[in-house]
Amino acid sequence: MTEGAPGDGGVILARLEVDYLRQLYYRVGERLCVRSTVTRLGTSSFTVRQELVQDDEVAIRASVVMVSFDFATDTSRAMSDDERTHWSRFAEP
């Protein structure tokens, strides 16, 4: 998979939906956990759910739709077999 420079295939962010479920607290040196799961694999797009956890509670939940994109033609494209294999490793059971 390439970086997304002109002429390359890559992915673009098509949709971002975020729910702020509770307040987060800034604590110096604290590391927060972000859980990411692929919830849908389509022909040219996939959806990722991400949850930011603090104190064992989900504080932020996001749903992100990413689209495989051909920057040379400025259009979406079907995912390659390698891309599909890569993203399916993160799919929910």
pTM over 0.85: no
> pLDDT tens digits for 59-78?
999 999 999 999 999 999 99
Confidence of residue 93 (pLDDT cuts 50, 70, 90): confident
> pLDDT tens digits for 15-58?
999 999 999 999 999 999 999 999 999 999 999 999 999 999 99
Q: Which CATH class is domain 9-88?
A: alpha beta
Dist CA 66 CA 48 (whole Å): 8
pLDDT at 2: 44
Domain segments of the chain as ranges: 9-88
Dist CA 78 CA 69 (whole Å): 8
Q: What are the residues whose beta carbons fall under 8 Å from the beta carbon of 87, sequence distance 6 or more?
A: 38, 41, 46, 79
Residue pair 77/70 in contact by the 8 Å Cβ criterion: yes
